[in-house]
Structure 1
Amino acid sequence: MNRRDADLHVHTTHSDGSCSPCEVVIAAAQVGLAAIAITDHDAVTALAVARPEADRLGVELVPGVELTCEYRAREVHLLGYYFRDDDPDLLAAVARLRASRAERLGSMAAALEGLGLIVDVEAVRRCFPRAALGRRHLAEYLYRTKQSPSVREAFDRWLADGRPACVEKLRLDAFEAIALVGKAGGVVSWAHPPYNTNLESLRALADAGMAGVEVAGPGVQNRVGRRFRDWAATLNLVPTAGSDFHAADRPGRRVGAYVTPDADLLHLRERAGASRSG
């Protein structure tokens, strides 16, 4: 098979996805992708699991992670690529974020119980033994235990931003995240930037070493994506794209639904190589 293009935004059971690392690699191979980046939230443990399957199927596994960050007093997500996944400083930062997620889970569970719901945190952990647990897992638990008619309803009623059981996450400073990934030999792209992102904000992160910006995906409207693509050209950023795959039941988010062309993947790889040599 003549493989082409890359899905650079995919989640697995090691964060809040429903498919295992090997399953998403198999899905990438089945749709003819040349490469896939597993970008679990604040976790890199899926990479070692997926690597043998990617080698077997001839799919490039791009080391990836989606880091929870803060920039100008708002939460943003930055995608790290092509880093060394054994870098001690990056691993320490990811471990710190995961530890905070565990504390946050307990606080949200307590808030739900204060609202009259029943939440067994240990049961949630057993249901998702490798995951970086968060709101989606609690929502799934409430649905499975018939305390909510759907996962979406659990979010809308209790767990979404501003709802009574939502608790803020620990966030890395965006500039710290860019530096950490760069020190580990990788590069960063801004995942699904908010629609009201301006050129000045993008330029500040580019000046700090950010190498790319996501211009296509389920969280990026077409007209907004075109604007980001124009700005990427202005700022010498690599335009990236990915499905933001989490589960097969999310319409329009199958693996390979949004792809980064081979030429852009090559530029991203070259930027990482330049970072390492520099």
Structure 2
Amino acid sequence: MSADLHIHSNASDGSLSPSEIVKIAYAKNLRAFALTDHDTFKGIEEAQIEADKLSIDLIPGVELSCNIGETDVHILAYWPDVNDPDLLNELKERRKNRKERAIKFVEKLNNNGIHITFDDVLSVAKGSAIGRSHIARAMKSKNYVGSIQEAFNNYIDVNSCCYVKKESCSPEEVLKMIKKAKGVATIAHPGVSKIDEHFLNLKKLGLAGLEVYHPDHNKSKINHYEKLAKKLNLIATGGSDFHARRSSRGITIGSYSVEMETVEKLKRKSLKLLANT
């Protein structure tokens, strides 16, 4: 049996509830899955209740962004203490920044003839951590675009006319925060961020793994990161990065997964961190 270590719910920018995700993971015969929403633990409790009912293992997690220069880097944290006060304060601040960034997106869109409001975005987000996908959905609901991808391509993606740069911090700061919360840190989709030369230094700061198996990695990239993870003695992880049932690429929960042996390696890292408390 296997595990999908990268899944998003509607607690952030996914389309399904945490309980719906658990049911799909169970139907896909996964033994475990990680709920890794952006900047929030909001979906963990609901997912855990459903996971307990179905006897499937939930790995609580979160996805945090940071920057190396102008490069956006995402770090996944597994089994962090969801009650760690410093981490909770950081997540609260990040969600505040998300709202402020969304307001700036709306202003830019308005100046470019896309007349949506911040309330439209809030209506779509329904209390979740606001992301660009919510802005795209608001645009689609007002018939300014025909698809979410069109909104990203033409308006809100990097280098598009209405893009707003996010406030961020360094990987060193994120890794320090994850380590304090006893979480196990891995780099998400490294083939996107392309920061290979930094991994050795990040490992010294607590990085435990690389997300080798991911929808954005072709066979060549998978082969490259398998070798690099082995060379640096980092755990090769993987996940679907699932967001929506109707993915344009046909990605669903479990499309990318790892064997339970990988989960056990990560868990041993977690237990070691706890033992050093």
Q: What TM-score, normalized to structure 1?
A: 0.95
Residue 256, structure 1, aligned to residue 257, structure 2: no
2:172 — aligned with what? 175
**Secondary structure, aligned partner of 1:12:** coil
One-letter amino acid of the structure 1 residue matched with residue 258 of structure 2: T
Instruction: Call closer, same or farther: CA 1:124–1:101 in 2, change over 3 Å.
Output: same
2:142 — aligned with what? 145
**Secondary structure, aligned partner of 2:203:** helix
Return the alpha-carbon distance in structure 2 between the equivalents of residues 71 and 188 of structure 1. Answer: 17
Q: 1:129 aligns with which of 122, 126, 130?
A: 126
Return the alpha-carbon distance in structure 1 between the equivalents of residues 117 and 205 of structure 2. Answer: 43
Q: CA RMSD in A?
A: 1.3
Q: Higher mean Cα deviation, 192-201 or 50-59? A: 192-201
Return the alpha-carbon distance in structure 2 between the equivalents of residues 164 and 196 of structure 1. Answer: 22
Is the CA contact 1:70–1:76 (under 8 Å) kept in the aligned structure 2? yes
Q: 2:105 aligns with which of 97, 108, 114?
A: 108
Return the alpha-carbon distance in structure 2 between the equivalents of residues 196 and 61 of structure 1. Answer: 27
**Secondary structure, aligned partner of 2:190:** coil
Instruction: Call closer, same or farther: CA 1:105–1:198 in 2, change over 3 Å.
Output: closer
Shift of 1:252: 3.4
1:220 — aligned with what? 217
One-letter amino acid of the structure 2 residue matched with residue 272 of structure 1: S
Query: Identity, % of aligned pairs?
Result: 33
Q: 2:31 aligns with which of 25, 30, 34?
A: 34
One-letter amino acid of the structure 1 residue matched with residue 269 of structure 2: R
1:9 — aligned with what? 6
Return the alpha-carbon distance in structure 2 between the equivalents of residues 55 and 193 of structure 1. Answer: 32
Residue 62, structure 1, aligned to residue 51, structure 2: no
Return the alpha-carbon distance in structure 2 between the equivalents of residues 73 and 166 of structure 1. Answer: 14
Return the alpha-carbon distance in structure 2 between the equivalents of residues 173 and 117 of structure 1. Answer: 33
Return the alpha-carbon distance in structure 1 between the equivalents of residues 250 and 174 of structure 2. Answer: 29
Return the alpha-carbon distance in structure 2 between the equivalents of residues 198 and 84 of structure 1. Answer: 28
Q: Higher mean Cα deviation, 94-103 or 195-204? A: 195-204
Residue 208, structure 1, aligned to residue 205, structure 2: yes
Residue 43, structure 1, aligned to residue 43, structure 2: no
One-letter amino acid of the structure 2 residue matched with residue 172 of structure 1: C
One-letter amino acid of the structure 2 residue matched with residue 259 of structure 1: S
Return the alpha-carbon distance in structure 2 between the equivalents of residues 256 and 87 of structure 1. Answer: 30
Dislocated runs of 4+, deviation >6 Å: none
What CA deviation, in whole Å up to 9, does each residue of 1:67-106 have, x standing for no partner? 0111244110000001111111111111111110000000
Unpaired runs of 5+ in structure 2? Answer: none
One-letter amino acid of the structure 1 residue matched with residue 259 of structure 2: P
Is the CA contact 1:13–1:130 (under 8 Å) kept in the aligned structure 2? no
Return the alpha-carbon distance in structure 1 between the equivalents of residues 53 and 31 of structure 2. Answer: 13
Aligned length: 275
Unpaired runs of 5+ in structure 1? Answer: none
Residue 157, structure 1, aligned to residue 154, structure 2: yes
Return the alpha-carbon distance in structure 1 between the equivalents of residues 68 and 88 of structure 2. Answer: 21
One-letter amino acid of the structure 2 residue matched with residue 155 of structure 1: F
Q: What TM-score, normalized to structure 2?
A: 0.96
Shift of 1:27: 0.5
Shift of 1:156: 1.3
**Secondary structure, aligned partner of 1:194:** helix
